[in-house]
A and B are shown apart, each in its own frame.
Chain A
Amino acid sequence: MKPYSIRFKATVFYSSILALILLVFGLSVLGYSYYILIKGLDKSLNVKAKEIAAIFNAYGKVVLYDSHPLAVILNVIDEYYFDSSAKAALNKLWTDQFSLLDLDKDYIVIVNSDKKPVLHSKDTPKFFYSENLSKFFFLDKIVHKIFYANKIFVRGINYPFDYNGSKLVVYVYTPMRAVLNVMMRLIVFVFVAIALIVVFTIYVGGIFAGQILRPVERLTDLAETISHKNLSLRIEEEAGDIEMQKLVDAFNDMINRLEKSFSYISDFSSNVAHELKTPLAVIKGELELAVENEEVSDETKNTLFSCLDEIERMERIINDLLLISKMENKPGFFHIEPINAKNFFNEICENANILAVPKKIKVAVNEIADDIIIYADKTHAKRLFLNIVANAIKFTGENGMVDIFFGYNKTGRLYVSVKDTGMGIKKDELDKIFKRFYRSDEARKYGGTGLGLSIALAVANAHGWKIDVNSEFGRGTEFVITL
């Protein structure tokens, strides 16, 4: 499954819940509104039907000639009983009664006890008194029903009543346009409101979730930058959620513990080195005194000299180890300052020339511009470059060649290439040469502590420099230090 952010999940999750709740609520409101409206409609239909039944009972025998639609209802019934004045009076009565009932838009149908429509109002569509509707004709109960005819919804009532001892049923059909209009508006309103609320909560919720999760982001940022070099970093405490504060506290505590362990380790190694130095001092001092002693035979002296050599080697190893440990663990160990590149590298090249003399190695150096400033810890940077240059000379045979080249790479960074015609490094050893104490079988013959390149790398790392090695075994090696 594709992982999503908590922020996204939380937002989607509670927005969906909110949308669901709003939907249920909206539908309930709609349903209830509809129920209320229909009930009102039915009530008015009831009243209308009842009135029509009453009117029918009162004036059933009257035949009317008039334009009023209701007048036509009765036009089937004998018309010749009435004279014109009575007709006019009745007509008025009808009209008044019917306009009171607001039947203008309604259709009225009257069905006899055989379920046969006998009367209908003018303009009533045939559908409402057709035979297929007989299912809906009930002689014994009041029934409400919705019909769909002539592309409109209509609410109808089946209202039976007694007329001169026989059963008749009056049907009043009223269009539901008003109800549906209200419902349509309600539906639109409810859904638009839900949509707006959901969009709003997604937006606000997103911001809110982001706010809540901000300590997590800061935690992540810090966690990404943290290493043994900057264990003093902490996440700032900020008034916020209890859980987040707990997380921040826990994280800070963790770094605390790490820092303690690291400083313990670094203290430990410096303590070890310190403790080793005292016995070394004793051995060295005693050996030096013994060598001076004139009673000691030459043979013994040779032994003592070789012991002294080894003691000094051991001392160098301990010092180098301490140095690396400090470079890697001690903040503020390096004092970076602007230095003139030409002066700095001239000194390195001068030393290279001197080192090259005994082996008759030719050292080629290209010119470096006068005004280049590099930012470096002079002492340690010198160590780095001298180490690389000295290595080049060390591993190059007599009459060989070491080429020191200053140039700019594609991104405009200054680089120093130190290329020799020495014995080269085997492919599988290339990535190991910077490891502490690693010396290839060939390099072993030349002595050294095996820490030189480790120190060089530590120095380069501290300066943000890069060391690249290209080598062809038996042909030569090139170290490129990109500043």
Chain B
Amino acid sequence: MRILVVEDEKKIASFIKRGLKEQGYAVDLAYTGDDGLFMALEDEYDLIVLDIMLPGKDGMFVCRQIRKKKKSVPILILTARDAVEDKVNGLDSGADDYLTKPFEFAEFLARVRALTRRSQGNLTTKLKIGDLELDQVTREVKRGGKKIDLTATEYALLEYLMLNAGHVVTRTMISEHVWNDSFDTFTNVINVYINYLRNKVDNGFDKKLIRSVRGRGYMISDEEDEK
């Protein structure tokens, strides 16, 4: 998996590169819009991470140019601006997703995973972790073949955890994706819902799938080893 990161802020570019490498991605860096555009058009990438505020040609322009050349590579835009119109402009210029700085790295990784998964076309409607199964079409959840009844919120939470199986999901990510809102007090709400989920999913099973990751958030995984 090869990712191009176009980001003029060298320090951000650096930790993105290191973080992605740790996850097993190959990463190329470009610090200006011109370099980024050149590299994006010359080489084949599975994903382009594009900052909007760039010296020379800006991110929007680069994005439009890439789309003009009919490159269907997924593009994730990074920006410090969070106004709705900025987001709309970014997406209108052909980007697939949008992330506001400062972002949580786990969130960033989740988006990268989602975009690369999408581009590879392996969109499965059934998610499976160990003996836990979730059908995105029928919204049915089973563990060990036994059906589990979940409320809409509990289902959305479990689905999000399973989409990011094996990876940490932070509370901020959960509140933004499941509740569509980022709000302080949701931290407590999330804790309560995680407890509901645990009661329904893990209660009575030896293997606990839903784990708390200290200081970070939650993770669903069937691997035994603790990180």
- Which of A204-212, A353-361, A430-438 lies on the face that meets chain B? A353-361
B192 at the interface (CB under 8 A from A): yes
User: Closest 6 A-B residue pairs measured CB to CB?
Assistant: A281-B102, A305-B215, A390-B185, A288-B105, A285-B15, A281-B101
Nearest CB in chain A: distance from B216 CB, A: 7
- A window 373-406: CB within 8 A of B: 379, 382-383, 386-387, 390, 394
State the CA gap A394–B12 with chains docked (Å): 37
Stretch from A68-76, A184-192, A272-280 at the B interface: A272-280
The residues of A that contact B101 with a CB separation of less than 8 Å are: 277-278, 280-281
Q: Is A369 an interface residue (CB 8 A)?
A: no
Could you pull out 28 A-B pairs where Cβ atoms are within 8 angstroms? A277-B101, A278-B101, A278-B102, A280-B101, A281-B12, A281-B103, A282-B11, A282-B12, A284-B103, A284-B104, A285-B12, A285-B102, A286-B15, A288-B104, A289-B18, A292-B22, A322-B82, A354-B188, A355-B185, A355-B188, A358-B188, A382-B181, A383-B181, A386-B183, A386-B185, A390-B188, A394-B185, A452-B184
B81 at the interface (CB under 8 A from A): yes
- B9 interfacial contact with A, CB 8 Å: yes
- Residue B191 CB within 8 A of the other chain: yes
A316 contacts the other chain (Cβ, under 8 Å)?
yes
Chain A: residues with Cβ within 8 Å of the partner, total of: 37
Cβ–Cβ < 8 Å partners of B214 in chain A: 305
B114 within 8 A of A: no
> Which residues of B92-115 are within 8 A (CB) of A?
101-106
Q: In whole angstroms, what is the CA distance A12 to B214 when docked?
A: 83
**Inter-subunit contact A278/B15 (CB<8 Å):** no
B191 pairs with A358, CB closer than 8 A: yes
Residue of A nearest to B108 (CB): A285
Complex alpha-carbon distance, A104 and B145, angstroms: 145
1/0 per residue, CB under 8 A from B, across A285-312: the answer is: 1101101100000000100010011011
Check B80–A277 contact: CB distance below 8 A: yes
Determine the main DSSP class of A at the interface with B: helix
A322 cross-chain contacts in B, Cβ below 8 A: 82
A-B contact count (CB 8 A): 84
| Complex Cα spacing A322 to B22, Å | 34
> Taking beta carbons and an 8 Å cutoff, which residues of A are in contact with B?
274, 277-278, 280-282, 284-286, 288-289, 291-292, 301, 305, 308-309, 311-312, 315-316, 322, 351, 354-355, 357-358, 379, 382-383, 386-387, 390, 394, 448-449, 452
Q: A282-B9, A282-B11, A291-B215 are in contact. Are A277 and B185 (CB under 8 A)?
A: no
- Residues of A near B183 (CB, < 8 A) are 383, 386
Closest to B100 in A: A277
Expressed in whole angstroms, the minimum distance between the Cβ of A383 and any Cβ of chain B is 6
Interchain CA distance A379-B180 in the complex, whole Å: 10
- The residue of chain B having its C-beta at the shortest distance from the C-beta of A298 within the complex is B214
Please give the number of chain B residues whose Cβ is less than 8 angstroms from any Cβ of chain A in the complex: 30
Candidates A274, A285, A449, A452; contact of B19 at CB < 8 Å: A285
Say yes or no: A316-B188 contact (C-beta < 8 A), given A281-B12, A288-B104: no
Asked whether B38 is an interface residue with its Cβ less than 8 Å from the other chain, the reply is no
- Is B127 in contact with chain A by the CB < 8 A criterion? no
Q: Are A274 and B215 closer than 8 Å at their CB atoms?
A: no
Are the CB atoms of B184 and A284 closer together than 8 Å? no
- Residue from A280, A309, A354, A390 having most chain B Cβ neighbours under 10 A: A354
Is B148 an interface position by the 8 A CB rule?
Answer: no
> How far apart are the CA atoms of A316 and B171 in the complex, in Å?
13
Complex CA gap A311/B18 in Å reads 20
Expressed in whole angstroms, the Cα–Cα distance for A444 and B183 within the complex equals: 19
Q: Are B188 and A282 in contact (CB under 8 A)?
A: no
Q: Is the CB of B9 within 8 A of A288?
A: no
Task: Indicate if B3 sits at the interface (CB-CB under 8 A).
Answer: no
A residues in contact with B11, CB < 8 Å: 282, 286
Task: Chain B residues near A286: list those with CB within 8 A.
Answer: 11, 15
**Contact residues in A for B103 (Cβ distance below 8 Å):** 281, 284
